[in-house]
Amino acid sequence: MKLPSLADISPTHLLNLDERIAFQHFFGKSLKEAVAMFAEKEYYAEDLGWMGKNAFEYYVKAYIEYLDHCSADEFDIMDPMLVVMQRAMWDDCHENVKLLINKISELKRISPCGDENYERRYDEAVQSIMKNRDQ
């Protein structure tokens, strides 16, 4: 897949502030560059929640690769869980969100969240995504 365009990252063409920030951070970035961004500052993961579907599908692969190389003390499990919750809220289904869910399942075994309300909302988002995927 080619690098995501302006419309891929910001479906509102920069009218939405969160999309604009995601565009500023990610436009023109390769997957390798995006992995390095996540390693530098994980708050870039928030941008994944606001991107258009095509850009999300592209850059979530970099986020999963970043998570593959993290140890339990290097990240906050709530960040990837938030990305899943945001995508469940905005879209019906994604091809790669299931990969992120699988990665979170692995990471939760080594880094328990500890916030029952947050975990419940995450579990509800996962159920919604899986239900929509199976239809």
| Domains of the chain: total | 1
Instruction: Name the more confident of 73 and 7.
Output: 7
* Segment of 19-28, 105-114, 117-126 carrying the highest mean pLDDT: 19-28
Which residues does 75 contact at the CB level (< 8 Å), separation at least 6? 42, 67, 107, 111
Comparing 12-21, 47-56, 121-130, which segment has the lowest mean pLDDT?
121-130
Instruction: Give domain status of residue 31, yes or no.
Output: yes
Residue numbers of the domain that contains 85: 6-134
| Percent of the chain whose predicted confidence (pLDDT) is above 90 | 47
Which residues does 81 contact at the CB level (< 8 Å), separation at least 6? 104, 113, 118, 119, 122
- Nearest-5° Cα angle at 100, 97 to 105: 130
Instruction: Give domain status of residue 1, yes or no.
Output: no
Instruction: Give domain status of residue 90, yes or no.
Output: yes
